Chain A
Amino acid sequence: MKNEFFSGIKGVFPILIGVLPFGMIFGVLALGAGIPKGAAQAMSAVVFAGSSQIVMTQLIGGGAPGLVIVLTVAIVNLRHALYSASLAPYVRGLKPAWKWLLAYLLTDEAYVVSILHYEEPYSASPPSGNTERDLTAVEGSLPASHDFRHWYFFGAALALWTTWQLSTAVGIFLGAIIPSSWSLDFTLALTFIALVVPALKNRADLAAALSAGLIAVAAYAWPYKLGLMTAAFVGIFVGMLVESKT
Chain B
Amino acid sequence: MSLWLTMIFAGMVTYAIRLSFILLIGIREPPDLVRRALRYVPPAVLTAIVFQELFVSNSGLNISLGNPRLLAGLVAIFVAWRTKNALLTIVVGMIALWGFQAFLWG
Interface residue ranges, A against B (CB under 8 Å): 14-15, 17-18, 35-36, 39, 42-43, 46-49, 51-52, 56, 60, 65-67, 69-70, 73-74, 77-89, 91-92, 99-100, 102-104, 106, 108, 111-112, 115, 128, 135, 182-183, 186-200, 204-206, 208-217, 220, 227-228, 231-236, 239-240, 243
Contact = CB atoms under 8 A, between A and B. Distances in A.
Nearest to B72: A186
B17 A183 contact: no
Contacts of B47: 196, 208-210, 212-213, 216, 235
A54 B94 CA distance: 20
Q: Which of B2, B40, B52, B80 has the most CB of A within 10 A?
A: B40
B25 A89 contact: yes
Main secondary structure of the interface of A (DSSP, over half): helix
Contacts of B91: 17
A188 B49 CA distance: 9
Interface residues of B, number: 70
Contacts of A236: 37, 40-41, 44
Given A46-B11, A135-B29, A74 B17 contact: yes
Contacts, number: 274
Main secondary structure of the interface of B (DSSP, over half): helix
A80 B18 contact: yes
A88 B39 contact: no
B33 to A, nearest CB: 8
